[in-house]
């Protein structure tokens, strides 16, 4: 029992330590970025010609907190990925560790690409569509800053995560968990899932916003199928007399148990 509990306790201590490091980094970034929350709100309201308003005493404050917290998480992504990498590193073999850092860098880059695409393409189209829709009906737009920031951060977060889809599908195919043929076979199900997810996540369940989120998801799924085909795992050639030998000293951590 002690042989089982000791590694478990070490893993729990490692998780606590790395979570504290991540939380400290995010909070430090938040303290710095909160001073620039007004500039970030102004950047997000670029598609609007009118000023934002607030209807409660604390609405403007919490909108600034939300945008600064979101920005601090984005800025802290290198630390977050690094801490995750250091946690899983003992469980990886030497050849797997060579790919880990490039994959984490690619994951961070894809997330940032999703944020840029959403901020420069998706959000201006969505906001302009709904503002024009109301103005055509002789309504005056007076958007609350809290609702507006919540609308923006939801879109940004979902699109950032959605851009990780091709990487996740490629890794699953490379690990042999799911073949690219399975992804291709369930393409119709993926399209339906994209529409359902878009209807759930979008602040308003209109067809326009659903399609603006669902179509990029479908395109990313198709890219994921190609990535899964490119990085697919080939079955090793079967041999009756095949033997497996290990040269050199085995690693002493989790990866060593996998080898044994």
pLDDT tens string 15-30: 888 899 999 999 999 9
* The predicted structure's pLDDT at residue 258: 52
Would 169 be classed as within a structural domain? no
Could you tell me if 86 and 209 lie in one domain? no
Could you tell me if 88 and 185 lie in one domain? no
Could you tell me if 152 and 79 lie in one domain? yes
* The predicted structure's pLDDT at residue 251: 54
Q: Pick the residue with more confidence: 253 or 80?
A: 80
Total domains in the chain come to 2
Would 246 be classed as within a structural domain? no
pLDDT band at 255 (very low <50, low <70, confident <90, very high): low
pTM of the model: 0.73
Could you tell me if 21 and 62 lie in one domain? yes
Would 243 be classed as within a structural domain? no
Could you tell me if 44 and 156 lie in one domain? yes
Is the pLDDT confidence value at 118 over 60?
A: yes
Is the pLDDT confidence value at 240 over 50?
A: no
Could you tell me if 98 and 201 lie in one domain? no
Would 257 be classed as within a structural domain? no
Q: Pick the residue with more confidence: 114 or 126?
A: 114
What are the tokens at 5?
A: 């509990």
Would 254 be classed as within a structural domain? no
For residue 96, CA distances in Å to 92, 174, 175, 243 come to: 6, 12, 11, 22
Could you tell me if 30 and 128 lie in one domain? yes
* The predicted structure's pLDDT at residue 48: 81
Could you tell me if 142 and 50 lie in one domain? yes
Would 253 be classed as within a structural domain? no
* The predicted structure's pLDDT at residue 244: 47
* The predicted structure's pLDDT at residue 249: 52
Domain range spanning residue 78? 1-163
Q: Pick the residue with more confidence: 89 or 227?
A: 227
Could you tell me if 52 and 96 lie in one domain? yes
Cβ atoms of 151 and 129 within 8 Å: the answer is: no
Would 237 be classed as within a structural domain? no
């Amino acid at each position: 029992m002690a042989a089982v509990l000791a590694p478990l306790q070490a893993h729990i201590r490692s998780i606590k330590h790395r979570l504290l490091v991540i939380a400290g980094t995010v909070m430090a970034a938040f303290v710095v970025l909160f001073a620039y929350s007004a500039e970030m709100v102004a950047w997000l309201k670029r598609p609007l010609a009118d000023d934002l308003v607030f209807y409660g005493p604390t609405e403007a404050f919490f909108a600034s907190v939300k945008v600064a917290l979101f920005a601090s998480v984005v800025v802290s992504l290198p630390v977050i990925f690094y801490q995750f990498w250091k946690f899983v590193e003992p469980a990886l073999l030497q050849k797997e560790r060579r790919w880990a850092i490039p994959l984490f860098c690619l994951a961070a880059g894809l997330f940032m690409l999703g944020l840029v695409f959403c901020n420069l393409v998706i959000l201006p189209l969505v906001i302009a569509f709904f503002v024009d829709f109301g103005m055509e009906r002789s309504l005056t737009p007076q958007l609350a800053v809290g609702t507006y920031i919540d609308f923006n951060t939801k879109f940004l977060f979902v699109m950032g995560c959605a851009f990780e889809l091709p990487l996740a599908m490629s890794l699953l195919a490379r690990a042999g968990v799911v073949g690219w043929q399975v992804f291709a076979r369930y393409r119709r199900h993926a399209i339906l899932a994209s529409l359902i997810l878009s209807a759930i996540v979008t602040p308003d369940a209109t067809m326009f916003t659903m399609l603006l989120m669902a179509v990029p998801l479908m395109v990313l799924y198709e890219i994921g199928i190609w990535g899964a085909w490119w990085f697919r795992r080939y079955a090793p050639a079967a041999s009756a007399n095949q033997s497996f030998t290990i040269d050199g000293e085995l690693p002493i951590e989790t990866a060593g148990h996998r080898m044994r």
